[in-house]
Structure 1
Amino acid sequence: MKNILSLIILLVGIGFFQACEDNDKIVLQQPESFVLNTPKYASGIYDLKHTETIELTTSQPDYGFTAATLYTVEISLSQNFAEFITLPGNYSTARFDVPAQDIAVALVSLHGVEEESDYPTDTHPLYVRLSATISGSKVEPVHSNVITLPEVLGYFALDEMEMPEEMYIIGNVAGDWDWNNSTEMIPVNGSPGKFWAIQYLGQNDGGDNAEIKFNYAMEWNGNEFGYNDVTIGEGSDGISGNDENNITIGNPGWYIVVVTTAIEGREYTFSVDFLPPYVYLQGDVNGGHWGTTDEAHRFAIPDLSLGADAEFVSPAFTNGGEIRASIQLPGHEWWHTEFMVFDGEFIPRGAGDDQDRVNGTVGQRLSINFTNWTGNVE
């Protein structure tokens, strides 16, 4: 009888705790709003040119539980937010600093000005609100109340220019003036805005010498650049321009083409070098020579009569081990421009991390088609 009574008490207890668990079940709520606090010094003048950050504090939206909330900042020149801009970045704490530079850049767009002389010189109200959501959830974003910063003094601020991440060659031989067939250049590791390509610049089917242009997008969008837009490097013999602003190649051949980008003010400037197409074996398979430019380790340059669809072939491997290959640009380490063939595909390191290893044996050679991006070890 005592055992039966204990069992009954145990079952009642389990039911009680189960009921408690059911009552404590978390239910996600969709809040209607939440509170963005007015900054302590909101009544003062926010001179954005001489301010680093503006601190904002908020209470978390009531989702029914403490959630990992992400906040973004929205600003407007009108209290009803008929037109607004979301500032870059997001914040995961209830107190955070907003870069004044981000606000100033957004205000240039909100004011709709394109020249510094047109930017307002007087202070004006700025309206701020937050948008919140739960990280990784499908919950709808919710907006805070709107606060007013009565006197904000902006300035003609522009986004910092970034180096292009891509570069393409187009021409009468390189792609037949079709961007879909253009040559994608390879980033130089550790040098943003610098690119290289081994390019066939012989003659086209009509017997005309090669002509090329460049762009950092695969399209005719007004940003393409040619002879009058670049500085041609010393030693690039036989290079000239024509009436179409194309770069014309006076000495047909294979070249390492290098584009180096710089930023001056709000504009890109470009220099272009045309270097001999020297490719080198590196490391184990050449006997342990690294960073070599010795002719003994240089790939054979294909005859021009073979056209663009021709292979560069390495010397025979003198040792077994890792196969490494590169070009050598002045002022750079060999691995800044290294590449390898994987399963028949030419893959450059570019701006990426170290590549996987491929091993070779004595007597084998590495062949690469730089036009089709193919190759093999045999």
Structure 2
Amino acid sequence: MKNKLLLGAVLVGTAGIFAACSDDNDSNPTLIQPTEFVLNTPAYVNETVDLENTEALRLTWSQPEYTTGNAPINATYEIQVSPTNSFTVSTDEADADEENALVADYAVIDKTSTTCFADLAASELNKALAKVAKWKADAVPAEQKTFIRINAFVLEGMNRLNAITSNVVEISVAPYYVELSDAAPIMWYLIGSNFGDGTWGNSADKVGVSNFPLFVQSDYSYDKVTGAGEITYLNYFTTEEWKILPADFNWEYAFCGTGAPNEAVYRNGGADGGNITCNPAGYYLVTINTGENTCTIVNQEITPAVYGQICITGDFCDWADQNMTPVNKSGENHVWCYMLTVEEDAVKQIKFKIPGSWDTNWGYGSEDGEVSVCGKAAAGGKNIGVAAGTWVIMFNDITGEFSIIPKK
């Protein structure tokens, strides 16, 4: 069982908003620049915190004086951590440096607070330290000094006003190795009367049967922290009804219809706007911005070749043709799906092709077996490498796009 480390005393600042004038005795407080505020010394300061077996570390601090008399105001607080007590270049700044000249010496915890306390997840602290220190698996220290401070500011739109940092508190932690990687692109799933078996099955075990993921774009830069960005889907659409579900398959946060054809809106927990439709039937490009939760559905004036069946093949099946599942239940179809499990520590090679012939086949990469999770396969291209795991493999025979997504 993981521990939650709390302070013996918690100093909680008042969170509020600028007061509006309601009578002659009230006034709107004026924002001023604070000169200091205090991050309190935690009760566990003399311990070595085992990060792998700790749930969270409680941090508390005083409220900066942002107004005369310290009237309530909505301030935002972020936690900054360093293994060296140097706070000159953040990991975000170093990542954004195209010349790779900057070296990070501290990291900012993603989750912010609007109160004068926070429960810092031990896993997030460990990840932050690992991003700065870049430990190898066999070189993680048994004990690591860790320096923590709070950065406070008033958020106005995208602007940070009157920023100020607290004092630094030193604690000792026992970190553990973690494999650092960018966040996976946020995924959404098509579901409806003409997708797969048409039963509207909204669960993870129905992926590739009743619901299907959109395509990750190989030439798009996704947010490294959140995975937000654009995902797309191009195919023939009938006039039957459909929706787009998030990765947890929650209807209340789906993209639903607006009452007009070729439109979709993010429900965001509100009323169901009904199902999406395309009219007239034809080819449409669906694009979702997963950061902004917007969706466009644009008709495409194209006349692609139609294949009755597309196969996947590879060394996982001794290069025999394996039929892929058509996404569309009826009408023309150009998007195909296949589930593949690759054993631990293995890499399998695959290609896409028409049945019974190598005259039309698609591959990708600079050499056979190069692992790729998305791309635009080319006619006669190299064998695509697929790493260990269970995967949902999507292929579009119009564009050659493929997307290899972990099955949850």
Per the TM superposition, whether the score is higher than 0.5 is: no
- TM-score interval for Structure 1 and Structure 2 normalised by the shorter chain: 0.3 to 0.5
Relative to its length, the structure with more helix (as a share) is 1
How high is the TM-score relative to the length of structure 2? 0.41
Please give the TM-score of this superposition, normalised by the length of structure 1. 0.44
